[in-house]
Amino acid sequence: MSEVRVRFPPSPTGYLHIGGARTAIVNWLYAKKHNGKLILRIEDTDAERSTKESIQGIIDGLNWLGIDWDEGPYFQTEFEKDHAQAAAKMLAEGNAYKCFCSKETLEKKREAALAAKKDVKYDGTCRHLSPEEISDREAQGIPSVVRFKTPQKEGGVSYDDKVLGTITRSYSDIEDFVIVRSNGKPLYLLCNVVDDIRDRISHVIRGQDHLTNTTRQILLYNALGALPPVFAHMPLTLDLKKAKISKRSHGEIVAVQYYRNRGFIPWALVNFLVLLGWSPGDDREIFSKEELIEAFTLERINKSHSIFNYRKDDPKFFTDPKAINTNGHYLRTMPVEEIAAMVKKELQAENLWDDGYDGAKKEWYIKTIDLIRDRFYTLKDFSSLGRSYFSDDFEIDPKALAKNLLKHPDLKTWLPMLADRFAALPTFNKDTAEEAARKLAEELDIKPGIPINASRAVITGQLKGPSMFELFEHFGREIVVKRLREAGKYFQE
Ligand code: GLU
């Protein structure tokens, strides 16, 4: 195979959408797999809709995901000359023509065609204008667009889509489409092809929403005397009602930034997004970067659309549960130091970071992460559910409060008693703490679980967690005693 050169050409008109990110990831994987190059090209020719913030957001999003590119970013606006030249070449060689039909005329014809249930294709009025008719209209100052001259013959455009197989569209289905606007600006269909030719793109991997563009673009390649690249179209991402997921109807869950803000691990999101539309052919769901590059093939991209399983009405699932579970998996299984470094940023953002965690308290910090990550799903959980480990100012889970504290009003005195016992121990560790807690329960003639679960509630704020005896030792005598002594505050109105 000759050199693989793929591209990611976003239009910078908004945030990085997870569908766009998936396209970028798949192109990146394909480039990596074949020692090829990924080119980042910002398609910024739509001056009204393109913004600097969006360009930055896309670049930040890709960087965060760990998707690196080999060339670029190129900016489409830097190549406007190439686009204009290509349009001129097509006009000169008779592959395109100027069309002087006004918007009003076209609209009227469209309505008439619709009413008569006929095709709404452009009817070719200007396709056969003589040079005199053209100069006559130009002399009158009538504005014109440039239309591509679709072959008028039997047959059609055909190509072998790496995902969907042979795709054929008959010429008669393709109208003479506009390639240059009346303001002289070439349109996406043309610019994109001119740039792909210049950038020597070997494979165009993009969403199925571009299928009708592809057949038209192949005609442009032919007219420009270039060989079309290999095409592969990825399935769309739909919601449970089979509608395309979009910011308008689904809100921020479609933006990569949202996952970053919600405490996702970048690779976990990459892993989730790849499987949304591609399958390895076996039941593996977790892939390292190397494994994914090894397993990835275009042929295993799914033909049918992917379903993004998101139920707005269930706040527990703030996005597709599979994404959350994948993140939870990485959170629990990645080297603890790597997680600890990510949690540091989260704690800093929430003003919970103590510089000692990088110094004298480092061992304690790392152990904390290791102890609590088992039940967590996102980095945010460390500053919310895990807050009690890093601050005295935390809230107690209402369930833990009701079930393990308020249910036994006597705990108001039992917990301070336990605090006294702990304070009096010659040495304080998980074994001595356990012994003291059990002894107190026996003396009070209560189940040991009662003071122990209550201790969990007032010390960690949580209903469940790691072994409480281990936690006594981990939090250390000072904090344990303090929080047990203050337990009375939860019983007040
Ligand atoms: N700028 C286009 C988009 O964002 C590029 C599509 C493509 O050719 O891949 O949809």
Ligand 1, atom 4, lies closest to the CA of 10
Is any atom of ligand 1 closer than 6 Å to the C-beta of 233?
A: no
The tens digit of pLDDT for each residue in 114-133 reads: 999 988 899 999 999 999 99
Tell me what pLDDT residue 360 has: 98
Catalytic residue selected from 103, 108, 118, 247: 247
Enumerate residues 6+ apart whose C-beta is below 8 A from 322.
Answer: 272, 275, 309
C-alpha distances (whole Å) from 105 to each of 73, 108, 400 are 41, 5, 72
Global pTM reads 0.94
Ligand 1, atom 6, lies closest to the CA of 9
Is any atom of ligand 1 closer than 6 Å to the C-beta of 10?
A: yes
Tell me what pLDDT residue 142 has: 97
Is any atom of ligand 1 closer than 6 Å to the C-beta of 11?
A: yes
Whose CA is closest to 438, among 165, 430, 56, 345?
A: 430
Q: Which atom of ligand 1 is nearest to the CA of 7?
A: 9
Whose CA is closest to 177, among 166, 160, 200, 193?
A: 193
Q: Known catalytic residue: 482? A: no
The answer to whether 191 is a known ligand-binding residue is no
The tens digit of pLDDT for each residue in 206-239 reads: 999 999 999 999 999 999 999 999 999 999 999 9
Do 456 and 400 meet the contact criterion of CB atoms below 8 Å apart? yes
Q: Report how many helices (DSSP H) and strands (DSSP E) the chain contains, helices first.
A: 21, 12
User: Which three-class secondary structure state does DSSP give residue 370?
Assistant: helix
Is any atom of ligand 1 closer than 6 Å to the C-beta of 229?
A: no
Burial class (CB in 10 A: 0-12, 13-18, 19+), 236: middle
Q: Which atom of ligand 1 is nearest to the CA of 213?
A: 8
Q: In what order do the strands lie in the sheet with 71-75?
A: 71-75, 37-42, 5-8, 203-207, 230-234
The answer to whether 99 is a known ligand-binding residue is yes
The number of angstroms, rounded, from the C-alpha of 59 to the middle of its chain's C-alpha atoms is 13
**Ligand 1 center from residue 49 Cα (angstroms):** 14
The answer to whether 126 is a known ligand-binding residue is yes
User: Which three-class secondary structure state does DSSP give residue 476?
Assistant: coil
Is any atom of ligand 1 closer than 6 Å to the C-beta of 43?
A: yes
**Ligand 1 center from residue 42 Cα (angstroms):** 9
Enumerate residues 6+ apart whose C-beta is below 8 A from 328.
Answer: 376, 377, 378
Query: What are the average pLDDT values for consecutive 10-residue runs of the chain, which has 493 residues?
Result: 93 96 98 98 94 98 98 97 98 98 95 90 96 97 98 97 98 97 96 98 98 98 98 95 89 95 98 96 96 97 93 82 97 98 98 98 98 96 98 97 96 98 98 98 98 98 96 98 96 74
- Which residue of 22, 55, 210 sits with most ligand 1 atoms within 8 Å of its CB, as the best mutation to test the pocket? 210
Tell me what pLDDT residue 251 has: 87
